[in-house]
Amino acid sequence: MLTLYDADRCPYCARTRIVLAEKGLDYETVVVDLDDRPAWIYEKNPLGRVPVLEEDDFVLPESAVINEYLEERYPAPALLPEDPAARAEARLLVERFDRLSRPYYALRRGDEGARAELGAQLAGLDSILAGRAFLTGREFGLADSAYLPWILRARESLGVDLDPYPLLADWVGRVSERPSVAAELEVLAAL
Ligand SMILES: N[C@@H](CCC(=O)N[C@@H](CS)C(=O)NCC(=O)O)C(=O)O
């Protein structure tokens, strides 16, 4: 049995919700109140953060690691390409995700220059999509799941216009038709 310690508003949790949905896995959700975190969450994750995935007595924090675990434990459908170089490229994008999250959170705080810095990162993703349909490669996968929650929130909550990044905007439109991502749009609309 899989359990996800989860919070609707958390984009890191959204990463894992997308992967669980893409893989068609059944799981239980335990909602963690981020404004009043229960003491027991520190037993699951010493940092006190969500998401945490539990499978029987195996407990795992960190969204990127959880998603890699799910990919290996439940390989079908694959969310990484077969080719080792393409797999490495997808992993590199996930590894360097803080280049996008830094200006995203700076913009949320209202820091000067953050919107332009976030725009530069969105332009970088747009140029990656010039050579491929998805950030992960030819198929939707882990890198797409890793970036989408912030890009959706930037558009929906921070008023970031994606029109200047046409390939990125097309990608958002394309992936939004997937049930895993459509469900996240519903979560966002209800926040
Ligand atoms: N690196 C972690 C970050 C998770 C994270 O920051 N989660 C936030 C909610 S979106 C959280 O639990 N914050 C509580 C805190 O930082 O104390 C991951 O990828 O899972």
Q: Which of 41, 47, 188 to mutate to test the pocket of ligand 1 (most atoms within 8 A of CB)?
A: 47
H-helix or E-strand spanning residue 110: none
163 burial level (CB within 10 Å; 0-12, 13-18, 19+)? exposed
CB distance 174 to 133 below 8 Å: yes
5 lines ligand 1 (CB under 6 A): no
Q: Which residues 6+ apart lie within 8 Å of 156 measured at CB?
A: 188, 189
The verdict on pTM exceeding 0.85 is: yes
Q: Does 10 qualify as catalytic in the annotation?
A: yes
150 lines ligand 1 (CB under 6 A): no
Q: What is the pLDDT of residue 57?
A: 95
Which atom of ligand 1 lies closest to the CA of 64?
19
The CB-side HSE value for 28 (13 A sphere, CA atoms) comes to 7
Q: What is the pLDDT of residue 131?
A: 87
Q: Render each residue's pLDDT in the chain as its tens digit; 191 residues.
A: 999 999 999 999 999 999 999 999 999 999 999 999 999 999 999 999 999 999 999 999 999 999 999 999 999 999 999 999 999 999 999 999 999 999 999 999 999 999 999 999 999 999 999 989 999 999 999 999 999 999 999 999 999 999 999 999 999 999 999 999 999 999 999 99
153 lines ligand 1 (CB under 6 A): no
* Nearest protein Cα to ligand 1, atom 14: 49
Q: What is the pLDDT of residue 99?
A: 98
CB distance 155 to 162 below 8 Å: yes
